[in-house]
Structure 1
Amino acid sequence: MKRKQWKRFLTCAGAAALLTCGGCSRTAGISPSDTKPEESQTEASVSGTEAETGTNIDESAGETVGETVFSPTVPESSSGEQILEKPNGESDDGGQEEEVSYQIIENIILATDIHYFDPSLTDYGPRFQEMVEYGDGKVVTYIDEITDAFLEEVIQLRPNALILSGDLTLEGEKKSHESLAEKLYRVEEAGIPVLVIPGNHDINNKRAARYEGEQRLPAEYTTPEEFRRIYRDFGYDEAISEDVRSLSYVYQLDEEHRIMMLDTCQYRPVAKVGGAILSETYYWIEEQLEEAWEEAMDVIPVAHHNLLEESKIYVDDCTIEHGEQLVNILDEWDVKLFLSGHLHVQHTMRSEDNRGVWEAVTSSLATPACQYGVLTCRDDGSYQYGTWSVDVESWAREHGRKERDLLEFRKFQEPFLRRVFYNQSMTALNAVPDIPEDRKKQMSDLYARLNYYYYQGTAYQIKNEVLSDPAYLMWLNEGTLTVLGEYVEYIVSDAVHDYNRLIVD
């Protein structure tokens, strides 16, 4: 029996002597969206699942990955506990129900990498458009609208908390931070706590910029002290403990759960891409975990950077430096789940021994399909994680917007992101001599489609098509001379199941 389980056994032993508790029948779970990229990403289209241990679902093989069997559940509750359901009320659970012996304690919405950019910082001119079209897929042109649509959706869903795990702004512009904070007050005023931490773009970022015509000009950036002041009402002033050496803190979610918001960013003296945790902060982390164990609390750590090597290609910049130390600490204190972002790709995995902590990486809210995570905490100590997409179209109609891109956002988002990826590929291939133009176009078309699915966490859906595509063989030959060749091979090897759903027992 692990530490926390033993502590809970001792705590509950007295009550168990007085009460004989049978398993109550519950219809439980949320319905996270898991649609194919070519379908609507705005529907809650895949039901939740129940399992004995944490694992991912392998739909390509038609069976589970790991040791457990899954059954569908529906987003309703026969006992009245709060279940999150998309505002449109849609799901494709088929009306199936499963009798299970747990109750829902908390529902948390988590979003990451919003990369909010205040509209006053751009005239949407040619230099701005170049940044968008040749960037990494962020829909900066409509990020103000996407953010508003998301926050209104959060208010409609009424979770127990909203967590934003870093890269709140495009490049750390102070004006963007201040404007985003003003928007977050709407959520707090609706009675929903908001918790934030910084990402690598947010603090001391000398790349903070504004756009005028053909020019990219400096904008005021944000210091660590200013970050805390701007977001003081979104976790920091409500924290039960705050690390004096970083912007990390602990928030008491309910009587059984604490959220540990970890600042993994390096911004002294200037911002770096990679993540690390200060040596002194590790002592604070262990103190908080020990205190939580003493009080029989479950701790959910949240960070911007990844705990595990979620990407074998971008390990140095995405994974926390010496993250194995944090993995060992979390395993020692029986922490089951770690939440992060930064990668912009939807992904999940478990520590290498396949017995320790799980990590769920939520994709960027700014990048199609503009997904966010939904985490359900159950009274048996298990978690259910899934993703939904922001319903930009409904928001646009309700607010009388006229832009076709917003009113038909589902039609707009995939071509937009694939166009960005196509541009990335052509730029890389143009640097390689002697590749015919038609072959570069074929390779870029394949890369754009494959990477689009990879960002959604559903590359497994097209793996067989990719393997039989002549352009894939071109990538294995000419493509190896580019920075993208290894990336293409990795995506295919990693396309084994759906990364949008996870049960952690």
Structure 2
Amino acid sequence: MKKRLGGRRQILSAFLPVLAAAALLSGCQRENPAAVTEVSEESQEESRETEQNSEAGTDASAAETSSGDEKGEDLKHQEKTQETEIVEDSGPLPKAEDGGWVENIMLGTDIHYFSDSLTDGGPCFQEMVEYGDGKVVTYIDQITDAFLDEVVKLRPDALVLSGDLTLNGEKASHKDLAEKLHRVENNGIPVLVIPGNHDINNRQAARYEGEERLPAEYTTPEEFRQIYQAFGYDEAASEDPNSLSYLYELDENTWLLMIDSCQYSPVNKVGGAISEATYEWIEQQLEAAWDAGVEIIPIAHHNLLDESEIYVDECTIEHSEQFVDLLETWDVPLFLSGHLHVQHCKRSDENRGVWEMVTASLATPSCKYAILTYRDDRSFLYRTRSLDVEAWAKKNGQTEPELLDFKEFQTPFLRRVFYNQAVAALREVPEVSDSEREQMAQLYSLLKYHYYQGTAYQVQDQVRNDPAYALWQDAGMATQQGDYFQYILEDGVRNYNRLEVE
């Protein structure tokens, strides 16, 4: 086993008492820092993407819409919409070579599982799905089963679920999901979970009957740990007494630091924060890993970095610069999170520091999960795959047309949600005419769809050359969606689905 350089304990002996001043400490980097290869520089893949984009862009721009629904505009069924996507590697997971070791960790986040026992599928439930934020709650049971089948097939070293396990923390949803997870564990694959902001003490927990939305039993912190005790907690090498964080020793080479970044006392909040007591516990785990010469991978629900400059308060952990300094001080190279629902990645410093990979929501098309391959030389490969719901549906005898033709269903579904969001916002801008609102909403739905996929760079030219672009630059800036529209254009300039650090 590779052993780290010594002396770190002496350097940081006074760290805990002055944790609030962590920004004053400088990080300690190893010799021969890792070189970064970003997928956007891989010309062969780019060539294939360009061919796909030319076809998909035409289909997307030709989408027809209807208007007049008092509850929000809707897209007509698109005869054929080809989803622009990256070329994904779909082969088996890498294995160790030449006596080294490789860890393959599968990442699923923001499943937002919802128990079938809590809905009759009536109009109130359907309205929640259609005018929500893009989660395919109607088929989340089947999506979850398809994902877990994929986990068993690929046989990673661990499956990590980084929060928002349920729609709104319903106890029935937690129990049903936990029952499904046993199948993965029974196949010899460890499952590790942490809560998200939706999961605990959530007073929005609900069930749907006909046209009514009724309260459902929510889940306390103690109940969360009890329900998921077999998925990390009972096997933890260390548990934080002040949160639902824990340390899991994957093997003699790698430890997983599962961090509870949520605020739920007395009720849940959207934003993330970590208490000083939990920071002290995290520091102890980082030091223990350093002394043992073991790699440690931190995972949380909320974002370490400002992955979205529009939703900083809601997405980035409060005072996260303190956390960044802590991780850099202990030479931690990467951090995994979710929460944003957008496929994204960022580095704490342009040329050095911690890489954060944010995996998109499994509940939101194109239902992505991620695979992290971490090697003994500290190089790693992070890439995403879109869940093949169609293949699973056909194999398992499903009859719903939306599942059997999921690739045709998912893109119009998510674009329709984003279209409805834009129309609702633009109705508050009186100088925008009906026809202009129609054009603007279509363009917004196209751009935001690709941003969620981590592929907004593919439609930059198409968006900027569309007549509705000028309308967004003018009247659209009076809305929050206008700010988001502009931010996506500025941020969506690379492929966020693959990152390789060598």
Once the two structures are TM-superposed, the CA of residue 383 in structure 1 deviates from its matched residue by 1.1
State the distance in 2 between where 1:93 and 1:479 align: 40
Matching residue's letter, 1:468 = N
Once the two structures are TM-superposed, the CA of residue 377 in structure 1 deviates from its matched residue by 1.3
Residue equivalent to 2:466: 469
Q: CA offsets per residue over residues 411-447 of structure 1, 9 Å max, x none? A: 1100000000000100111111121000001000000
Residue equivalent to 1:481: 478
Matching residue's letter, 1:355 = R
State the distance in 2 between where 1:287 and 1:108 align: 24
Q: Which deviates more, 395-404 or 160-169?
A: 395-404
Q: 1:4·1:333 contact (CA, 8 Å) conserved in 2?
A: no
Once the two structures are TM-superposed, the CA of residue 354 in structure 1 deviates from its matched residue by 3.2
Query: 2:430 aligned to 414, 430, 433, which one?
Result: 433
Matching residue's letter, 1:342 = H
Residue equivalent to 2:125: 128
State the distance in 2 between where 1:380 and 1:113 align: 31
Match runs of 1:60-209 below 5 Å = 103-209=100-206
Q: 2:255·2:294 contact (CA, 8 Å) conserved in 1?
A: yes
Query: 1:366 aligned to 353, 356, 363, which one?
Result: 363
Structure 1 stretches lacking a partner, 5+ long: 9-50, 65-89
Q: CA offsets per residue over residues 35-58 of structure 1, 9 Å max, x none? A: xxxxxxxxxxxxxxxx95235322
**Which secondary structure does the structure 2 equivalent of 1:503 belong to?**
strand
Residue equivalent to 1:260: 257
Describe the shift of the 1:466–1:60 C-alpha distance in structure 2 as closer, same or farther (beyond 3 A). Answer: farther
Once the two structures are TM-superposed, the CA of residue 352 in structure 1 deviates from its matched residue by 3.0
Once the two structures are TM-superposed, the CA of residue 503 in structure 1 deviates from its matched residue by 1.5
Residue equivalent to 1:56: 38
Match runs of 1:219-298 below 5 Å = 219-298=216-295
**Which secondary structure does the structure 2 equivalent of 1:261 belong to?**
strand
Q: CA offsets per residue over residues 195-238 of structure 1, 9 Å max, x none? A: 00000000000000000111110000000000000000000000
Once the two structures are TM-superposed, the CA of residue 104 in structure 1 deviates from its matched residue by 4.8
State the identity %.
63
Once the two structures are TM-superposed, the CA of residue 390 in structure 1 deviates from its matched residue by 1.2
Residue equivalent to 1:6: 5
Residue equivalent to 2:75: none
Matching residue's letter, 1:412 = F
State the distance in 2 between where 1:239 and 1:457 align: 34
Q: 1:60·1:460 contact (CA, 8 Å) conserved in 2?
A: no
State the distance in 1 between where 2:117 and 2:177 align: 13
Describe the shift of the 1:396–1:61 C-alpha distance in structure 2 as closer, same or farther (beyond 3 A). Answer: closer
**Which secondary structure does the structure 2 equivalent of 1:484 belong to?**
helix
State the distance in 2 between where 1:52 and 1:278 align: 32
The two structures, once aligned, show a CA RMSD in angstroms of: 2.3
Q: Which deviates more, 462-471 or 302-311?
A: 462-471
**Structure with the larger helix share:** 2
Query: 1:413 aligned to 407, 410, 426, which one?
Result: 410
**Which secondary structure does the structure 1 equivalent of 2:243 belong to?**
coil
**Which secondary structure does the structure 2 equivalent of 1:339 belong to?**
strand
Describe the shift of the 1:415–1:103 C-alpha distance in structure 2 as closer, same or farther (beyond 3 A). Answer: farther
Normalized against structure 2, the TM-score is what? 0.83
Q: 2:3·2:292 contact (CA, 8 Å) conserved in 1?
A: no
State the distance in 1 between where 2:175 and 2:233 align: 16
Once the two structures are TM-superposed, the CA of residue 504 in structure 1 deviates from its matched residue by 2.8
Normalized against structure 1, the TM-score is what? 0.83
Describe the shift of the 1:92–1:187 C-alpha distance in structure 2 as closer, same or farther (beyond 3 A). Answer: closer
**Which secondary structure does the structure 2 equivalent of 1:6 belong to?**
coil
Q: Which deviates more, 411-420 or 53-62?
A: 53-62
Once the two structures are TM-superposed, the CA of residue 63 in structure 1 deviates from its matched residue by 10
